[in-house]
Structure 1
Amino acid sequence: MGSIYLIRHGQASFGADDYDVLSPLGVRQAEVLGDHLAELGIRFDRCVSGSLRRQQHTASAALQRSVAAGLAAPELEIDAAFNEFDAESVIHGLLPAMLPDEPDALTILGNPKEHRAAFQHLFARIIDRWVTGQYDQPNHETWQGFVDTVRGGLERLLAQAARGDKIAVFTSGGTITALLHLVTGMPAGSAFDMNWQIVNTSLSRLQFRGSEVTLASFNSRVHLELLKAPELITYR
């Protein structure tokens, strides 16, 4: 059977003007992952990333460490199907109708770094509405549209894969959530309950035979835990 390793990007710049940049800790997480993959002797037949900078930077930092340890790595391919969903679009589409029940929402969103717990509560409420499809707004990304895009990326991977291939996909938490939903059939809400637990640079693995795909492991972070440095365990 072949394997698809789903790798969440390293810590991004939460609360900054530009989120799509790895923090110094995010770079370190990616390097630790690369060292771990090299120690395991995992040689990828293909490496794919979404087009977001935090995804590509995670890939390059991890693969550079593997190459430095003597493992060959294929050229990184870019497929935007593995991008994160457009959270800004989702928030802007759904928040106005929620403001009567969330009077502090604009303050929280204006400075999420200073209101982390409140932001997570608000964002989870928005996502709960989003995945139902009942509140879809014109010109804003829908959950079903996002899932269809991710499904297309997975189908392309499988169509191009050889038997026994090991494929790395550097992606994001929402994309991994959509894949959990597609592969296991679990409801979207249940998949997002798991999403909130996905650690930066964690490894989840899908196994495939032809077009048949199963979940083999989820959210492994042993490469970070082995260093016994709690600050390496982050979720954004």
Structure 2
Amino acid sequence: MGSIYLIRHGQASFGADDYDVLSPLGVLQAQIAGRHLADLDLRFDRCLSGDLSRQQDTARHALAQINAAGLPIPELETDASFNEFDAFAILEALLPGLLPEEPEALAIMSDAACNPAEFQRIFERIIDRWLSGSWDTPGLETWMGFVERVQAGLNRILELAKSQQNIVVFTSAGTITALIHSLTRIAPTDAFKLGWQIVNTSLSQLKFHGNEATLASFNSHVHLQLLKTPSLITYR
């Protein structure tokens, strides 16, 4: 059987004008993940990422560490199917409908860095509405559309994959959540309960045979835990 390693990007710039930029900690996390992959002596046959900056930069920093260890690395390929869902578009579309129940929501979401717990609570409420399909908005990618996009990316990998290949995909938490839902058939809300726990630069592994893939491990971040520095373990 072959393996597909799904690696979440490093910490992005939460609360900044441009979220899609690795923070200095995110760069360090990516470098640590790369050294961990090199220590495991993993030889990758293909390397892919979405086209978001935080995904591609995580890939570059991690792969540089693998290369520095003397291991071969394939050229990084881009597939936008592995992009994260557009959280800002979802917030813009669905937040107004939540204001009658949550009149402070706009202020909370506008200053997320000052109250991350309340931001997360409101964000989860909005995502629940998105998952339900009852609040679909013209022009906004639906939950099912997102799942189909991500699954199509996985299908393309499987169509080209050969037995016993190792493939790595640098992606995002929502993308991994969609794949968990698609592969295990658990409810979307339950998949997101797992998805909120996905650590920056954690590894989840799929095993595949032909066109069939199975979840083999989820959210491993031992490369961060072994350093015994809690500040390395982040979720945004």
Q: Which residue of 2 aligns with 1:85?
A: 85
Residues in 1 aligned to 2:3 and 2:210: alpha-carbon distance in whole angstroms: 11
Residues in 2 aligned to 1:87 and 1:25: alpha-carbon distance in whole angstroms: 22
The reply to whether residue 220 of structure 1 matches residue 223 of structure 2 is no
Answer yes or no: is the 8 Å Cα contact 1:5–1:203 preserved in 2. yes
Residues in 2 aligned to 1:111 and 1:97: alpha-carbon distance in whole angstroms: 19
| Residue aligned with 2:205, SS | strand
Q: Which residue of 2 aligns with 1:16?
A: 16
Residues in 1 aligned to 2:59 and 2:88: alpha-carbon distance in whole angstroms: 24
Residues in 2 aligned to 1:180 and 1:4: alpha-carbon distance in whole angstroms: 13
Q: Which residue of 2 aligns with 1:137?
A: 137
Aligned partner letter, 2:104: D
Q: Which residue of 1 aligns with 2:194?
A: 194
Answer yes or no: is the 8 Å Cα contact 2:27–2:61 preserved in 1. yes
Residues in 1 aligned to 2:199 and 2:103: alpha-carbon distance in whole angstroms: 30
TM-score, length-normalised on structure 2? 0.99
Answer yes or no: is the 8 Å Cα contact 1:34–1:65 preserved in 2. yes
The reply to whether residue 31 of structure 1 matches residue 13 of structure 2 is no
| Residue aligned with 2:219, SS | strand
The reply to whether residue 211 of structure 1 matches residue 211 of structure 2 is yes
Q: Which residue of 1 aligns with 2:2?
A: 2
Q: Report the identity percentage.
A: 62
Shift of 1:79: 0.2
Q: Which residue of 1 aligns with 2:76?
A: 76
Residues in 1 aligned to 2:10 and 2:2: alpha-carbon distance in whole angstroms: 25
Following superposition of structure 1 onto structure 2, how do residues 156-171 of structure 1 map, counting pairs within 5 Å? Answer: 156-171=156-171
Residues in 2 aligned to 1:161 and 1:104: alpha-carbon distance in whole angstroms: 49
Answer yes or no: is the 8 Å Cα contact 2:6–2:205 preserved in 1. yes
Answer yes or no: is the 8 Å Cα contact 1:6–1:203 preserved in 2. yes
- In structure 2, the gaps of 5 or more residues are none
Aligned partner letter, 2:222: V
Shift of 1:141: 1.7
Q: Which residue of 1 aligns with 2:234?
A: 234
Shift of 1:46: 0.3
| Residue aligned with 1:183, SS | helix
| Residue aligned with 2:66, SS | helix
| Residue aligned with 2:207, SS | strand
Residues in 1 aligned to 2:17 and 2:141: alpha-carbon distance in whole angstroms: 22
| Residue aligned with 1:102, SS | coil
Shift of 1:109: 1.2
Residues paired across the two proteins, number: 236
Residues in 1 aligned to 2:94 and 2:210: alpha-carbon distance in whole angstroms: 39
Answer yes or no: is the 8 Å Cα contact 1:90–1:142 preserved in 2. no
Answer yes or no: is the 8 Å Cα contact 2:181–2:188 preserved in 1. yes
For residues 26-82 of structure 1, the C-alpha deviation after alignment (integer angstroms, 9 at most, x for no partner) is 000000001101111001100000000000000000000010011110000000000
Answer yes or no: is the 8 Å Cα contact 2:95–2:106 preserved in 1. no
Shift of 1:210: 0.6
Which of structure 1's runs of 4+ aligned residues deviate more than 2 A? none
Shift of 1:139: 1.3
